[in-house]
Amino acid sequence: MKVLIIGGVAGGATTAARLRRIQEDAEIVIFERGGYISYANCGLPYYIGDVIQDRDRLFVQTPESFRENLNIDVRIRSEVTSIDPESKHISVKNLETGEEYRESYDKLVLSPGAEPVKPPIPGIQSEGIFTLRSVPETDAIKTFVEEHNPRKAVIVGAGFIGLEMAENLHEKGLYVTIVEMAQQVMNVVDYEMAAQVHQHLKTKDVEFYLQDGVSNFSRQKGADGQERIIITLQSGRTIETDMVILSIGVRPESRLARDCGIETGETGGIKVNSHLETSEKDIYAVGDAIEFINPITKQPTITYLAGPANKQGRICADNIVFGNQKEYRGSISTAIAKVFDITVASTGASEKTLNKHRIPYHSIITHGSSHAGYYPNAMPVTIKTLFSKDEGRVLGAQIIGYEGVDKRIDMIAAVIRQEGSVQDLMELEHAYAPPYSSAKDPVNIAGFVAENILTGRSRHIHWNEVAAGCNPDEMQLVDVRTPEEYQLGSIDGAVNIPVYEVRSRLGELDRNKTIIVFCGVGLRAYQAERILRQNGFEDVFNLSGGYKTYEYAAQ
């Protein structure tokens, strides 16, 4: 069997390696347009930031090691220019010699990845403006920083990679400004979660402009005679900078496939069935370039993540050798990034996505601790949990904190992956000793709170509904924290009845109004809510995530 693979990094290299292990005598050829295979894309920002110091560490395998160790024929600087599914041939261009040739296949695997979006903004080709996807681009950025000693950098686009670059350039001593079209950074999480990131960026002296885009780049000599980049934003604001990283987003590298008659979908990705086969027989596709059905929204989706690419590679290899036995069940897009001292993670669908697809959901925010509060150095962890209104199926989660974020997102991802419900979150039997968690992990607590919503024992109201304004004739805001906490700042119009006085001060509340109780994080307000509900107050809501979330989001 002769298998050709287009693209030699995450999806391609993994497919090849697994193929070799299960089919010792297959002929396997990898075609890679660039000069490198099997490198750590995800490490590139950290190499630029000198966190990873040794460039060689970025290369997990090389063409030589693949040949020697796995008996795989790797052809770098070789671009596949067309595919002929009829005759089962591809055309390849040797980018060094310019020579073109054809190669036949029994099975073909496409893992061409994604390409950075570079909109036709005037001046976008200027010197000092970079995208970051490949090793040469990385080298270019690193060389620029070392040779030009820039003092300022602008990051356009505040996704995960943009923020990683913000951190790494900041750590190298640059003054970093972020420009983002949306009203928030990190679009995969929802606004009130991103608001915590905004706050954190401020403490790091990273400047950011939201809801603003670049209308034009130009180069100009400054007062000191040095040429700089001038960015004019759509708002009219101008920013002077020494360098720019464009990380506006990526799109699937699906042109080759489409041009050769392989079906692509509405997202632009290459359509695959559950066996990762494309519309053409014997042609498979994996990685950033594919479109699959999202298991939560049931909509066509692309996911630009290394974990799924690697896992798909292994499934694809198995299906090629053993004959389409394995199903790919889609990705739930679990993602994570370190943003300076905090970690931001998400899994499943966000509230934005659920709204977009009109999927009904409940949403809750809970704040907890990375481990037992009585053990030193416990750090706050905020969890947003989204779940279905009927059976409480977990639809998504977002977590932000200083420690233990990765483990909680993984726990929830495990539940979502198995189509579990908030019941499963409650029952998760995590490992508990004081340095690691609490007897009830914050994920269990999220489950409890969700169950209380599902059973009607608690009702949440969200920060934006409260921030939109409460008519005092109809609504009563009750801050159930201590008088000291209340003094330090509360929501306009709120009265203060500490939770433990609620029982004795029922008379101060109006049974005919909607009562919104809140505390710091939601726990005491829930207790107050329970007392009120059981004392005949019908219309009581708990402010989800408490004053903490409100303060972050409403400011």
If the CB atoms of residues 312 and 382 are measured against ligand FAD, the closer one turns out to be 312
Q: Please identify the residue of the shown chain whose CB is closest to the bound ligand FAD.
A: 287
Report in angstroms how near the CB of residue 392 gets to its own copies at its nearest.
14
Catalytic residue among 42, 260, 470, 519: 42
Contact present, 443 and 420 (Cβ < 8 Å): no
Residue 260 binds ligand FAD (CB under 6 A) = no
Q: Which of 124, 306, 467, 495 binds its own copies (CB under 8 A)?
A: 306
SS (H, E, C) 174-241: CEEEEECCCCCCCCCCCHHHHHHHHHHHHHCCCEEECCCCEEEEEEEECCCCCEEEEEEECCCCEEEE
Q: Which of residues 76-115 bind ligand FAD (CB under 6 A)?
A: 79-80, 111-113
Residue 186 binds ligand COA (CB under 6 A) = no
Report in angstroms how near the CB of residue 11 gets to ligand FAD at its nearest.
3
Q: Which of 4, 11, 260, 494 binds ligand FAD (CB under 6 A)?
A: 11
If the CB atoms of residues 163 and 494 are measured against its own copies, the closer one turns out to be 163
What pairs with residue 156 in β-bridges? Answer: 179, 246
- Only one of the segments 40-48, 102-110, 262-270, 384-392 lies at the binding site for ligand COA (rule: CB under 6 A); that segment is 40-48
Report in angstroms how near the CB of residue 104 gets to ligand FAD at its nearest.
17
Written as six digits, the tokens of 515 are 């009562």
Q: Which of residues 295-334 bind ligand COA (CB under 6 A)?
A: 306, 310, 314
Q: Which of residues 445-474 bind its own copies (CB under 8 A)?
A: 448, 457
**Nearest 5 degrees, angle CA 451-CA 454-CA 460?**
90
Which residues in 473-518 belong to E strands, given as ranges?
A: 475-479, 495-496, 514-518
| 46, interface contact from ligand FAD, ligand COA, its own copies, none, CB < 5-8 Å by kind | its own copies
Report in angstroms how near the CB of residue 109 gets to its own copies at its nearest.
17
| 329, interface contact from ligand COA, its own copies, ligand FAD, none, CB < 5-8 Å by kind | its own copies
Instruction: State the first-to-last Cα distance of the chain, in angstroms, to the nearest integer.
Output: 62
- Only one of the segments 5-13, 238-246, 338-346, 394-402 lies at the binding site for ligand FAD (rule: CB under 6 A); that segment is 5-13
Active site residue 42: yes
Residue 135 binds its own copies (CB under 8 A) = no
Residue 526 binds ligand COA (CB under 6 A) = yes
Q: Which of 3, 4, 17, 262 binds ligand COA (CB under 6 A)?
A: 17
If the CB atoms of residues 25 and 473 are measured against ligand COA, the closer one turns out to be 25
**x-marked contacts with ligand FAD along 290-309 as a string, rule CB under 6 A:** --------------xxxx-x
Q: Which of residues 27-86 bind its own copies (CB under 8 A)?
A: 40, 42-43, 46, 51-52, 57-58, 60, 68-69, 71
SS (H, E, C) 30-78: EECCCCCCCECHHHHHHHHCCCCCCHHHHECCCHHHHHHHHCCEEECCE
Written as six digits, the tokens of 219 are 């180069």
Sheet strands side by side (includes 89-94): 78-84, 89-94, 100-104
What pairs with residue 331 in β-bridges? Answer: none
Neighbours of 205 (CB within 10 A): 9
Burial class (CB in 10 A: 0-12, 13-18, 19+), 208: buried
What element of type H or E holds 547?
helix 546-554
If the CB atoms of residues 253 and 280 are measured against ligand FAD, the closer one turns out to be 253
Q: Which of residues 485-514 bind its own copies (CB under 8 A)?
A: 499-500, 503
Q: Where are the alpha helices (DSSP H) in 306-393?
A: 306-322, 351-356
| 415, interface contact from ligand FAD, ligand COA, its own copies, none, CB < 5-8 Å by kind | its own copies
Q: Which of residues 12-71 bind ligand FAD (CB under 6 A)?
A: 12, 31-34, 41-42, 44-45
Distance CA 166, CA 169 (A): 5
Residue 392 binds its own copies (CB under 8 A) = no
Question: Which is it for the CA torsion 533, 538, 544, 548, positive or negative?
Answer: negative
Residue 424 binds its own copies (CB under 8 A) = yes
**x-marked contacts with ligand COA along 444-473 as a string, rule CB under 6 A:** -x--xx--x---------------------
Sheet strands side by side (includes 129-131): 129-131, 243-246, 152-156, 175-179, 207-209
Written as six digits, the tokens of 88 are 């089962």
Buried b (16+ CB within 10 A) or exposed e, 82-112: ebebeebbbebbeeeeeeeeebebebbbbbb
**x-marked contacts with its own copies along 243-282 as a string, rule CB under 8 A:** ----------------------------------------
User: Three-state SS for 3?
Assistant: strand
| Contact residues: ligand FAD, CB under 6 A | 6-7, 9-12, 31-34, 41-42, 44-45, 79-80, 111-113, 132-133, 161, 253, 256, 287-289, 304-307, 309, 432-433
The set of catalytic residues is 42
| Contact residues: ligand COA, CB under 6 A | 9-10, 13-14, 17-18, 21, 38, 40-43, 60-61, 306, 310, 314, 366-367, 439-440, 445, 448-449, 452, 521-523, 526
